Amino acid sequence: MAAHRQNTLKYEGCNFLRQRLILATLSGKSVKITKIRDKDDDPGLKDFEASLIRLLDKLTNGSRIEVNETGTSLLYQPGLLIGGTVEHECSLERGLGYYLEVLVCLAPFTKNSLKIILRGVTNCKEDPSVDIIRTVTIPLMTKFGISEGLELKVTRRGSKPNGGGEVIFKCPVRRKLLPLQFVKPGKIKRIRGVAYAMRVSPAMANRIVDSTRSILNQFVPDIYIYTDHMKGAQSGKSPGFGLSLVAETTEGGFLSAEMSSNQPGEQPSIPEDIGRQTAQLLLEEVYRGGCVDSRHQSLALLFMALGQSDVSKLLTGPLSPYTIQFLRHLRDFFQLMFKIEVQKQEDEEQIGAEKVLLTCIGVGFSNLSKTIL
């Protein structure tokens, strides 16, 4: 216990809770978080955060989790990542993407290959949809050597407030990750997308597609947006519709954007607006540029940091605030720092935001069915 106390990292506040829990689990270091919403009318951990902690408990063996009576203090001493077959009912406050983003960070390092069934909200405004995880996150994982047996299957869609969605995520175990050299973003060669509709008219999805193409056809000829209209039990328990878009580059990069409709009781969403706004968000990601989009910067940096003791390089657009904090946490948990260089634009005709080149030497993290270095 004394050794644990000396090895415990301490933080305040509820921000970046997932980052701290992920890195604590991988590094084997305990983390204590205090003053969680202590000044709010409703202090302490929210239901979706408690659900995430229960999920981590299912994935590990021997974890010690202590939460005080008000929920404003959390002590997490991680156990061994076991994996295996797991089922979990997620909180309806957040989308399944909130939980899947944690799982993709941990799943390659479990003792047994992971098969997990998650139930809840598949598409919402706050978190990445299961479509983005399937079309962007998984291809990024394959660049680090995590490929065979990696799969995300959407069996039922579910929108807020009542959910009803279900996905099955499978991930193989990797002993070591491959280093990454990804410094050429390339040019956009095609755009793919999914317009989905749940418990509303199928015409909603077609209206989204038409308004999206009215903008994107001006830039790229190769566009295909699939319409997914789930019926019956597969459509969940609440009405909803939305769009996820992915731009693929000539060098194998993926940039994404998405939007979903408002919940019942809020201002009704118009399909044409969702199509146009998602197209504009995608163009903004293209302008930011880089080899990964802003949402996937932290995942790429995590796998680079955990890779073999070799040099990894990644070119990104401007770093998001979430990524900047993630770099600080990597230093805390793994004593690893990235070399960060802002790339000046050599060609005056080149448009887009300034690019950032991140370089590191991996810590040589090896999955020996345990989470210590």
How does DSSP assign 202-233, residue by residue?
THHHHHHHHHHHHHHTTT-S-EEEEEEEE-GG
For 85-103, write each residue's pLDDT tens digit: 999 999 999 999 999 999 9
Taking residue 40's Cβ as centre, other Cβ atoms within 10 Å add up to: 11
Q: Is residue 104 in a domain?
A: no
Q: Determine the residue type at 61.
A: N
Same domain for 199 and 265, yes or no, is yes
* pLDDT over threshold 90, residue 372: no
CA-CA distance, 165 to 119, in Å (whole number)? 6
Domain holding 48, by residue range, is 1-81
Selected residue with higher pLDDT from 351 and 108? 108
For 312-361, write each residue's pLDDT tens digit: 999 999 999 999 999 999 999 999 999 999 987 765 555 688 899 999 99
Q: Is residue 368 in a domain?
A: no
pLDDT of the residue at 347? 58
Same domain for 254 and 333, yes or no, is no
Counting every residue, how long is the chain?
373
Same domain for 195 and 281, yes or no, is yes
pLDDT of the residue at 369? 55
Residue that finishes a domain, picked among 20, 54, 81 = 81
Considering only the C-alpha atoms of the chain, give the largest distance between any 2 of them, rounded to a whole number of Å: 64
Q: Is residue 73 in a domain?
A: yes
- Say which residue the tokens 């973003």 belong to: 185
Yes or no: say if 150 and 174 are a contact pair by the CB < 8 Å rule.
Answer: no
pLDDT of the residue at 344? 77
Q: What is the mean pLDDT of residues 298-310?
A: 95
- Say which residue the tokens 């929920």 belong to: 71
pLDDT of the residue at 319? 95
Q: Looking at the DSSP assignment, which residues form a beta bridge with residue 245?
A: 193, 257
One-character DSSP codes across 218-278: TT-S-EEEEEEEE-GGGG-SS-EEEEEEEEEETTS-EEEEEEEPPPTTSPPP-HHHHHHHH
For 171-207, write each residue's pLDDT tens digit: 999 888 999 999 999 999 999 999 999 999 999 999 9
Any alpha helices (H) in the chain, and if so which ranges? Answer: 2-6, 17-27, 47-59, 96-106, 130-132, 138-142, 203-216, 271-288, 297-305, 321-334
Q: Is residue 182 in a domain?
A: no
Cα→Cα distances 159→31, 126, 264, 301, Å: 33, 12, 10, 31
Cα→Cα distances 186→43, 54, 305, Å: 47, 41, 24
Same domain for 298 and 275, yes or no, is no
Same domain for 282 and 297, yes or no, is no
Q: Is residue 257 in a domain?
A: yes
CA-CA distance, 333 to 105, in Å (whole number)? 15
* pLDDT over threshold 70, residue 224: yes
Q: Is residue 281 in a domain?
A: yes
pLDDT of the residue at 275? 96
Q: Is residue 299 in a domain?
A: yes
For 116-156, write each residue's pLDDT tens digit: 999 999 999 999 999 999 999 999 999 999 988 899 999 99
Cis, peptide link before residue 221, omega less than 30° from 0: no
* pLDDT over threshold 80, residue 304: yes
Same domain for 268 and 345, yes or no, is no
Selected residue with higher pLDDT from 70 and 367? 70
CATH of the domain at 232: 3.30.360.20
DSSP tag of 135:
I
Same domain for 276 and 314, yes or no, is no
* pLDDT over threshold 70, residue 221: yes
Residue 125: both structure tokens together: 């405004």
Residue that finishes a domain, picked among 81, 105, 124 = 81
SS3 140: helix
Q: Is residue 264 in a domain?
A: yes
* pLDDT over threshold 80, residue 1: no
For 28-85, write each residue's pLDDT tens digit: 999 999 999 999 999 999 999 999 999 999 999 999 999 999 999 999 999 999 999 9
Same domain for 308 and 342, yes or no, is yes
pLDDT of the residue at 19? 96
Cα→Cα distances 117→52, 95, 99, 129, 177, Å: 14, 14, 11, 16, 25
Same domain for 258 and 321, yes or no, is no
CA-CA distance, 330 to 332, in Å (whole number)? 5
Domain count, the chain: 3
Give, rounded to a whole angstrom, the gap between the first and last alpha carbons of the chain. Answer: 20
Same domain for 69 and 33, yes or no, is yes
Residue that finishes a domain, picked among 263, 287, 311 = 287
Q: Looking at the DSSP assignment, which residues form a beta bridge with residue 335?
A: none
Q: In which band, very low, low, confident or very high, does the pLDDT at 5 lie, cut at 50, 70 and 90?
A: very low
Same domain for 240 and 309, yes or no, is no
Q: In which band, very low, low, confident or very high, does the pLDDT at 6 lie, cut at 50, 70 and 90?
A: low
pLDDT of the residue at 373? 39
Run of H or E residues at 39 = none
For 233-283, write each residue's pLDDT tens digit: 888 899 999 999 999 999 999 999 999 999 877 889 999 999 999 999 999
